Amino acid sequence: MLFSPVNSHLRWAPLLCLMLWIFSILFPLCLLSAAEEKSSALVLSIDGTINPAVSDYLKTGLTRATEQKAALVIIRINTPGGLDASMRAIIQTILSSPIPVVTYVSPDGARAASAGTYILYASHIAAMAPATNLGAATPIQIGGGLGRAKDKENQDAEDSKDHSSALERKIINDASAYIKALADKRNRNGDWAVQAVQEAVSLTAREALELNVINIVADDLEDLLNQLDGYPLIVEGEQVSLKTAGLRLEHFEQSWRYKLLGVISDPTIAYLLLLLGFYGLIYELANPGFLLPGVAGGIALMLALYALQLLPVNYSGLALMILGIGFLVGEAFMPSFGTLGLGGIIAFAAGSLILIDDQTMRVSLPAIIGTTAVSALFIIMLMSRVAMMRRKPVHTGIEAMVGTFGEARSDFHVSGLVWVNGESWNARSSSPVRKGDKVKILSISGLELIIEPLKEDS
């Protein structure tokens, strides 16, 4: 059979056509997929206080945006403020982001107070919905203490220094310099930023736009994207122009893990969980087999320890709390007439006050007072019970026989046998005793009862 080159080429023609057809379909899809990767804006949401869980959530979100090559990150924020350490971690993440970050105070009625104002200043673009506000950025101490607004109309700068502690001035000056540096980096109103820290002033969205505190006032996310299209800004030292027309919004919501962390990372909640864990385990050890206190206490203790590793904990305070609880337990099992109990209360209260090692957050003072009062009440009740038990007559043992009555088993003058509570005892009497006489037990000498016979008229 003769081999024809034409027939050979014809055999390969269908395969080549199939490959060209597949390539013509897949290549546009690849281009479309690549385009879609860059045509999305990742939306993160903050509702509530700024805490370690929120910081971790934002860091994860910005990392995800970088991996997906998102064109923009929008942080929709509504917060009354939060922890200084968490706020600074968020700001560091925003400042190092290779993707433009827009912080948008939304929806209407939302606010970016305290820590939210700092985050707004740190973002590449600051935006607000019309009926929102920002400001009141004076550092405060959770549980009381630091952070009084200074009214310059009523007192001058000298009076402020007289009524402010050195620590308060130090923290306020540090916060003022910090927000001023953020304002200078983003070319925003630094004078008002310092005023927001030192005088706790606030602004509406329109006022903030007029004073160059924010860049945009937008009704919603769609309006925000429309206004951002073509907006010039500097990202990582390079001048860029945003292309937001037609951007697809992708929402990255907080998972249950972040929501749980947001609850337990509150200093007061972590503190109460810690106490609940300790007392639950103590109760279980005192009443083996009850199970429920031990299980609940173990879970609470694990949650508290996880929360404390997110918070700036002073381990001296934690050690004092554990020592105080140990003293209280010692008072319960080895009564020392208040010595261990009083020492435990003092150590417990002192440890609670210094547990969180951060000037901008503290365990709530009412919570400390309440738990200390409950512990003190427990000790008082325990002491009163011990005192009552010491005054109460003995109802068991040999001592309980003194003052009771028995019956003589035989006639005797000095010593003999008597029945007492169904038992036969050796007895001694200074008076003659006849069989069947009722006798009263006066005392006990070793294993011998000292008795006296009862007269017939008694």
Tell me what pLDDT residue 265 has. 73
Tell me what pLDDT residue 27 has. 52
pLDDT band at 119 (very low <50, low <70, confident <90, very high): very high
- The encoded tokens of residue 306 equal 């996880």
pLDDT band at 183 (very low <50, low <70, confident <90, very high): very high
Tell me what pLDDT residue 26 has. 54
Domain-wise residue ranges, the chain:
34-258, 266-391, 398-453
34-258, CATH topology level: 2-enoyl-CoA Hydratase; Chain A, domain 1 (3.90.226)
Of the spans 252-261, 358-367, 427-436, which averages the highest pLDDT? 427-436
Q: Which of 8-22, 30-44, 92-106, 416-430 has the lowest mean pLDDT?
A: 8-22
End-to-end CA distance of the chain: 146
pLDDT band at 76 (very low <50, low <70, confident <90, very high): very high
> Does the predicted TM-score (pTM) go above 0.85?
no
pLDDT digits (tens, 9 = 90+) for 358-398: 555 567 778 788 877 877 776 666 666 655 665 666 555 66
Task: Give percent of the chain with pLDDT exceeding 90.
Answer: 28
- Whether 183 contacts 123, CB under 8 Å: no
- The encoded tokens of residue 275 equal 């106490």
Task: Tell me what the pLDDT averaged over the chain comes to.
Answer: 79
Average of per-residue pLDDT across 28-52: 70
Instruction: Return d(Cα 64, Cα 73) in angstroms, integer.
Output: 10
- pLDDT of 322 > 70? The answer is yes
Tell me what pLDDT residue 190 has. 93
Average of per-residue pLDDT across 329-336: 68
pLDDT band at 143 (very low <50, low <70, confident <90, very high): very low
Q: Which of 19-23, 226-230, 232-236, 375-379 has the lowest mean pLDDT?
A: 19-23
Tell me what pLDDT residue 193 has. 94
- pLDDT of 112 > 50? The answer is yes
Instruction: Return d(Cα 105, Cα 117) in angstroms, integer.
Output: 10
Strand 72-78 relative to strand 40-47: parallel, antiparallel, unpaired? parallel
Instruction: Return d(Cα 142, Cα 11) in angstroms, integer.
Output: 81
- pLDDT of 157 > 80? The answer is no
Of residues 193 and 83, the one with the higher pLDDT is 193
Tell me what pLDDT residue 255 has. 73
Q: Is 2.40.50.140 the CATH classification of the domain at 398-453?
A: yes
Average of per-residue pLDDT across 69-93: 91
Helix boundaries (H) for 200-336: 205-210, 221-228, 256-264, 267-286, 292-308, 315-333
Residue 265: which residues within 8 A CB-CB, separation 6 or more? 51, 52, 53, 307, 310, 311
CA-based max dimension of the chain: 150
Of residues 197 and 346, the one with the higher pLDDT is 197
- pLDDT of 261 > 60? The answer is yes
In sign, the C-alpha dihedral spanning 60, 63, 69, 70 is positive
- pLDDT of 25 > 80? The answer is no
